[in-house]
Amino acid sequence: MRHIHVFPDTQSLERDAADLFVERARASIADHGAFTVALSGGSTPKRLFALLAADPYRSQLGWEKIQFFWGDERSVAPDHADSNYHMASEALLSRVPAPPEHVHRIEAEKPDPAAAAAEYAATIVSVFGGAELPRFDLILLGMGPDGHTASLFPATTALHEHKALVVANRVEKFHTWRVTMTARLINNAASIAFLVEGEEKAEPLREVLFGPYQPELYPSQLIHPSNGDCHWFVDEPAARLIPHSERTSA
């Protein structure tokens, strides 16, 4: 089911996203003894991670029961400023008692991105006990102004992948490779949370949520969990074109 939560400012958006993170973690740990979460890159999650790393959130989380993954990664070393792993490590993982063996980063700096993608898919399957199509408890996503999510960019081959869990994706506009989870894997999650802030996201967000289905142009349209919840956390500037009747009331 889709929920569109609109917030007057970024602070309240991030607090609500942190509440969802804690609630999903507690429910997952109570249900099956672990919480599997995929993190995203970008500026909004950075502030969410900083919140989670401090009280009142920090002490509410069973850190030793959390398995951390990433939805996508850039082809840079793990200590590079552009690395999604690096950002999460600085803002969150280095500040909390997360066991290093529960932190599964994508080794997208490897010279063969397709091999890095295959290795990451194998890591995911192994942590999920051999499941053919793993079901994450929570996947955090952002949306770019071009409608991309994770590293599913407009008009790229990864949009057409219906079998693999993780693929290497050539992003010609950046002259680079990315490694990304596929829509097939993301859509099997129990919960998905998109964090979307800023006026520049208003038009693409309207198209993604209410426009004609054109995932080649707006890849975020590929994300609709088959048996789970999709939460959109949107600040007022990004929600400018979302009719009030479509917003989930608090």
Applying CB under 6 A, the residues found at the interface with ligand 6PG are 40-44, 71-72, 84, 142-144, 148-151
CA distance 121 to 127: 10
Interatomic CA distance for residues 246 and 51, integer angstroms: 28
Q: Which is nearer to ligand 6PG, 36 or 151 (CB)?
A: 151
| 3-class state of residue 195 by DSSP | strand
Shortest Cβ 245–ligand 6PG spacing (Å)? 26
Query: What is the rounded CA–CA span in Å between residue 80 and residue 77?
Result: 5
In the bound state with ligand 6PG, the residue whose beta carbon lies nearer, of 41 and 228, is 41
CB of 203 to ligand 6PG, least distance (A): 14
Determine contact, residues 28/128, Cβ cutoff 8 Å. Answer: no
Which residue's Cβ lies closest to ligand 6PG? 142
Closer to ligand 6PG by Cβ: residue 35 or 194: 194
Q: Quick one: tokens of 203?
A: 């038009």
Beta-bridge partners for 69: 38
Nearer to ligand 6PG, 64 or 82 (CB): 82
Strands 191-196 and 138-142 come out as parallel
Do residues 205 and 238 lie in contact, with contact meaning Cβ atoms separated by under 8 Å? Answer: yes
Q: C-beta of 45: minimal distance to ligand 6PG in Å?
A: 7
Cβ-based nearer residue to ligand 6PG, 44 or 67: 44
Rounded least distance, CB 153 to ligand 6PG, Å: 9
